[in-house]
């Protein structure tokens, strides 16, 4: 540093700093330590800053979304579809309620692309509950629930779910995807291991990534592989969690829950079951995979489910012991820092749950119609994979292009079913995915399978 100069007295601090910096730069240049101004600059602390020339030469991909890989991928896909003459089957606008039928662009279609399994979305009683909640509470609780967003509807709905699962408590969140992300991200950490079925939902993978826990998948429904991992890895981690689904949303099959419960108890692990597609669908009363197998609610540590399927709403929930749920209500970021569930959503989900329990014939009808579709499809030689006919039935085509073309061919004939393409599934497993509803009629199912069989033969 240059020695203090008496002539600097009386100058402002800003001017003094400028003069000192200029003196430093002159010394550094004489010593050859400072490049020309257009190449680099040195601060008073000696920290290099980016040069004007280097910044000017940055590629556009580093600061323009038009060059982002995700956008480029979409452009390539769209251009390829255009050249092959395949219309975009996504983001079709529905005119009203989507149940077993729907209206798109003023035309009615038999609909297999909605989660409205029990016909609760659009049910007059469920809709009336939502309207009454708006009249009393408005459309938003306008705050996170711990702060000022708690409403009686929230507690009533959570108590009802806890009773259904025969556990202590429940917490309802505004997003099903975020429910898995925030729960796993909060509860587990780098000293833990999370083992999951290879076909687990993206929300679980995102939650594991957030948690920092070690992640190990096992082949789909392969319990021998699961046990091998547990035997080899259990003692290397503080906590170990097994995550499975009640019904797998791409394949329509389910795991051997009693056997997995036995493994988790033997190896002293936690078990989480994602019931997004099994609650309301499995079991005589629709109470999910535990009712299907006749198990108590306490056999699973973390029950997770969504409101957007059988319960005609939007959001997710975690049910289990008080020791699980209470910390989530106070500390889980996706709950603590998010606005509470809107009153009409909580009210409609509660009404749908109560109606499901009162009217088990809806569940029975759904199961019957799913079996009818599966039986007819398999008899026609359609590859339905490992589906059990419980609401989700794939028609595996073997290529994304074939799936997209088949979807559009059926759409032209009045059937709305979405293709599932790579990378959502492996390319050789591309498919159409049929969601059944208790409202689908025999005639609709028979007609659909007949057209599907004919179009597959043409493809």
The candidate with the shortest Cα–Cα distance to 389, out of 449, 429, 349, 313, is: 449
- Cβ neighbours for 316, distance < 8 A, ≥ 6 positions apart: 172, 173, 175, 176, 177, 178, 179, 180, 276, 304, 305, 306, 307
DSSP 52-121: HHHHHT--GGGT-GGG-HHHHHHHHHHHHHHHHT----SSPPB-S--SSEEEETTEEEEE-S---TTS-T
Other beta carbons less than 10 A from residue 201's beta carbon: 22
pLDDT value, residue 84: 81
Bridging pattern class, strands 431-435 and 418-420: antiparallel
Bridging pattern class, strands 240-245 and 193-197: parallel
Mean pLDDT of 153-174: 98
Least confident stretch, 24-33, 201-210, 247-256? 24-33
More confident of the two residues 17 and 175 = 175
Mean pLDDT of 401-427: 94
Mean pLDDT of 379-404: 96
pLDDT tens by residue, 178-215? 999 999 999 999 999 999 999 999 999 999 999 999 99
pLDDT tens by residue, 1-15? 445 554 555 566 666
- For 319, the token pair is 């049910």
pLDDT value, residue 150: 96
Q: Torsion over CA of 66, 67, 73 and 78, rounded to 10 degrees?
A: 40
Using 50, 70 and 90 to split pLDDT, how confident is the model at 278? very high
Output b/e per residue, 434-459; b: 16+ Cβ within 10 A: bbbbbbbeeebbeebbebbbebbeee
pLDDT tens by residue, 65-119? 999 988 988 888 888 888 888 888 889 999 999 999 999 999 999 999 999 999 9
pLDDT tens by residue, 310-364? 999 999 999 999 999 999 999 999 999 999 999 999 999 999 999 999 999 999 9
DSSP 5-57: -GGGTTS-HHHHHHHHHHHHHHHHHHTT-S--TTT-EE-TT--EE--HHHHHT
| Beta strands across the sheet bearing 415-416 | 101-104, 107-111, 415-416
Q: Is the pLDDT of residue 41 over 50?
A: no
Q: Hey, which residues does 218 pair with through a beta bridge? A: 197
User: Residue 430, class by beta-carbon neighbours within 10 Å (0-12 exposed, 13-18 middle, 19+ buried)?
Assistant: buried
Mean pLDDT of 120-126: 98
The answer to whether the CB of 99 falls within 8 A of the CB of 108 is no
pLDDT value, residue 17: 61
Could you say which DSSP state residue 286 is in?
A: S
Residues comprising the chain, all counted: 459
- Cβ neighbours for 250, distance < 8 A, ≥ 6 positions apart: 199, 392, 394, 420, 424, 425, 431, 433
The answer to whether the CB of 347 falls within 8 A of the CB of 153 is yes
More confident of the two residues 32 and 171 = 171
For 294, list phi and psi in degrees, rounded to 5.
Answer: 70, 40
pLDDT tens by residue, 215-245? 999 999 999 999 999 999 999 999 999 999 9
- For 381, the token pair is 């030689």
Q: Is the pLDDT of residue 422 over 60?
A: yes
| Domains of the chain, CATH where assigned | 6-56 (no CATH), 89-117+360-458 (3.90.1150.10), 124-358 (3.40.640.10)
pLDDT value, residue 78: 86
Could you say which DSSP state residue 182 is in?
A: H
Could you say which DSSP state residue 339 is in?
A: B
């Amino acid at each position: 540093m240059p020695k203090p100069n008496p002539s600097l007295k009386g100058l402002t601090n800003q001017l003094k700093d400028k003069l000192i910096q200029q003196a430093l730069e002159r010394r550094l240049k004489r010593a050859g330590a400072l490049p020309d101004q257009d190449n680099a600059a040195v601060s008073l602390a000696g920290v290099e800053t980016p040069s004007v020339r280097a910044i000017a030469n940055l590629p556009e991909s580093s600061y323009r979304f038009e060059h982002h890989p995700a956008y480029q991928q979409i452009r390539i896909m769209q251009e390829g579809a255009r050249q092959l003459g395949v219309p975009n089957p996504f983001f079709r606008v529905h005119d009203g309620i989507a149940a077993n039928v729907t209206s798109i662009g003023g035309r009615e279609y038999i609909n297999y692309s909605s989660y409205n399994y029990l016909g609760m979305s659009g049910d007059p009683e469920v809709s009336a509950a939502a309207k009454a909640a708006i009249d009393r509470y408005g459309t938003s609780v306008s705050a996170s629930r711990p702060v000022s967003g708690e409403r009686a509807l929230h507690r009533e709905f959570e108590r009802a779910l806890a009773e259904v699962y025969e556990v202590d408590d429940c917490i309802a969140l505004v997003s099903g995807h975020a429910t898995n992300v925030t729960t796993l991200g909060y509860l587990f950490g780098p000293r833990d291991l999370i083992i999951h079925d290879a076909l687990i939902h993206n929300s679980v993978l995102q939650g594991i990534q957030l948690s920092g826990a070690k992640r190990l998948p096992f082949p789909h429904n392969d319990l021998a592989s699961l046990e091998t991992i547990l035997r080899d890895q259990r003692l290397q981690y503080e906590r170990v969690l097994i995550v499975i689904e009640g019904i797998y949303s791409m394949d329509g099959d389910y795991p051997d829950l009693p056997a997995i419960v036995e493994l988790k108890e033997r190896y002293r692990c936690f078990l989480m079951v994602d019931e997004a597609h099994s609650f309301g669908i499995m079991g005589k009363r629709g109470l999910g995979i535990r009712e299907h197998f006749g198990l108590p609610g306490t056999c699973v540590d973390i029950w997770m489910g969504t409101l957007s399927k059988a319960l005609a709403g939007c959001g997710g929930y975690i049910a289990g012991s008080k020791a699980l749920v209470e910390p989530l209500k106070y500390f889980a970021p996706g709950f603590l820092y998010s606005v509470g569930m809107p009153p009409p959503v909580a009210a409609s989900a509660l009404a749908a749950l109560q109606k499901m329990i009162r009217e088990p014939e809806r569940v029975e009808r759904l199961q019957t119609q799913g079996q009818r579709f599966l039986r007819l499809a398999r008899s026609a030689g359609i590859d339905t994979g490992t589906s059990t006919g419980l609401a989700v039935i794939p028609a595996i085509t073997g290529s994304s292009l074939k799936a997209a073309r088949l979807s559009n061919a059926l759409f032209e004939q009045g059937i709305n079913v979405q293709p599932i393409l790579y990378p959502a599934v492996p390319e050789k497993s591309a498919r159409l995915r049929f969601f059944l509803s208790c409202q689908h009629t025999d005639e609709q199912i028979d007609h659909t399978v007949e057209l599907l069989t004919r179009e597959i033969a043409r493809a």
